[in-house]
Amino acid sequence: LAAYRTDEGQPWVLPVVKKVEQMIANDNRLNHEYLPILGLPEFRANASRIALGDDSPAIKENRIGSVQSLGGTGALRIGAEFLRRWYNGNNNTATPVYISAPSWENHNSVFVDAGFKDIRTYHYWDAAKRGLDLQGLLDDMEKAPEFSIFILHACAHNPTGTDPTPDQWKQIAAVMKRRFLFPFFDSAYQGFASGSLDKDAWAVRYFVSEGFELFCAQSFSKNFGLYNERVGNLTVVGKDADNVQRVLSQMEKIVRTTWSNPPSQGARIVATTLSSPQLFAEWYDNVKTMADRVLLMRSELRSRLESLGTPGTWNHITEQIGMFSFTGLNPKQVEYMIKEKHIYLMASGRINMCGLTTKNLDYVAKSIHEAVTKIQ
């Protein structure tokens, strides 16, 4: 599973999380009572503020809403259920949903189980040039029926690690605006990707500034290391406050039959952290620690491969971002890595950069070199 590891190859509970958990444990005013259906208010407001930015025009204009959810998956599912019921007509299961090729494999299941009947892919990864197939992507958007839903990765695309540049995002937004396409962002790595919350949220915020109504499914699994507490948030950006209130009222009905109300522990940790300047700074530091380690592993792996003279180009290792990298290894080479070298990659050639440590970098680089030179 996709989880961060330290240089010792161990899971990492963020120091700020340990601190805040102790605070919560010592706070006698707290109990285990139900949260409201839409979640802990302080969590919801802070979580959306993190995604949209302190000075977001949408927040200022009071046209945002938030639904605390069970992880990023839960946020995606609640958003999908809402769209199937109320978007583009009533219960219009025929609205096309576009998912990038490739994408996180659970995206498909989320929208299928939410009732959508027409799930399509949009061009994304160009295997030949090992980068974004922007032209293919834009073509798909031009041809998509109006009002189609597009699942966009806010940053650190899973599994390719390849994100559009700001300029490319601008082109994407222009087409989507013209074709009335609905942006549904999946933001699972904010902060974790580049080390900067603002940089990793640039695309979402740009779309908001361009006047889009959109959904953004946020996960705090990676950037807070709170994987098993299931902390997520669905941010809704609407036309106006009235609209958003009506949306939230329908969201409540959906939540009520799915999990009634969300778990409190993880949301409390995040809310406490985000609402204290000092704790927020500590958290930011912890996030940067994780992001920097991954960036270091990327640069170290690339330089080793280039020193070894491994055939091919390896700049994609550092140009890609986030937890994953599409190495470019083919299935046979991947099989070699797994069977002969005991290094685990997906058949797609996807590697989890968090698995790299200063101790195993040499071994991994050498193994990739062998795989590429021995196996065609």
Binding site for other proteins (CB under 8 A): 1, 3, 11, 13, 17-18, 21-22, 25, 32-35, 69-71, 73-74, 77, 106, 109-110, 112-114, 221, 225-230, 253-254, 256-266
DSSP one-letter code for 5: -
Q: How far apart are CA 103 and CA 273, in angstroms?
A: 31
CB nearer other proteins, residue 42 or residue 335: 42
Output helix, strand, coil percentages for the chain, rounded to the nearest 5.
Answer: 50, 15, 40
Q: Contacts by 84-89 with C-beta closer than 8 Å and gap 24+?
A: 84/114, 84/115, 84/116, 85/250, 85/254, 86/247, 86/250, 87/147, 87/149, 87/182, 88/147
Q: Contacts by 250-254 with C-beta closer than 8 Å and gap 24+?
A: 250/82, 250/85, 250/86, 251/38, 251/65, 251/67, 251/78, 251/82, 252/37, 252/38, 254/78, 254/81, 254/82, 254/85
**Alpha-carbon distance values, 112 to 102, 230, 316 (Å):** 17, 22, 33
CB nearer other proteins, residue 21 or residue 139: 21
Of the residues 140, 186, 200, 314, which is catalytic?
186
Q: How far apart are CA 184 and CA 215, in angstroms?
A: 5
Instruction: Supply the minimum distance, in Å, between the C-beta of residue 274 and other proteins.
Output: 18
Structure tokens given for 353 = 């950069």
Instruction: Clarify whether 341 is annotated catalytic.
Output: no
Instruction: Supply the minimum distance, in Å, between the C-beta of residue 297 and other proteins.
Output: 20
Q: Which residue has the tokens 């919801």?
A: 44
Instruction: Supply the minimum distance, in Å, between the C-beta of residue 230 and other proteins.
Output: 4
CB nearer other proteins, residue 254 or residue 364: 254
Q: How far apart are CA 222 and CA 136, in angstroms?
A: 30
CB nearer other proteins, residue 22 or residue 299: 22
CB nearer other proteins, residue 24 or residue 45: 24
Q: How far apart are CA 235 and CA 162, in angstroms?
A: 24
Instruction: Clarify whether 314 is annotated catalytic.
Output: no
CB nearer other proteins, residue 238 or residue 262: 262
Instruction: Supply the minimum distance, in Å, between the C-beta of residue 22 and other proteins.
Output: 7
Of the residues 200, 202, 222, 314, which is catalytic?
222
CB nearer other proteins, residue 209 or residue 228: 228
Q: How far apart are CA 341 and CA 360, in angstroms?
A: 12
Of the residues 104, 125, 283, 314, which is catalytic?
104
3-state secondary structure 138-168: HHHHHHCCCCCEEEEECCCCCCCCCCCCHHH
Category of 219 on φ-ψ map: left (φ > 0), alpha (ψ -120 to 50) or beta: beta
Instruction: Supply the minimum distance, in Å, between the C-beta of residue 89 and other proteins.
Output: 19
Instruction: Supply the minimum distance, in Å, between the C-beta of residue 104 and other proteins.
Output: 10
Instruction: Clarify whether 54 is annotated catalytic.
Output: no
Instruction: Supply the minimum distance, in Å, between the C-beta of residue 339 and other proteins.
Output: 26
| Residues belonging to the active site | 104, 186, 222
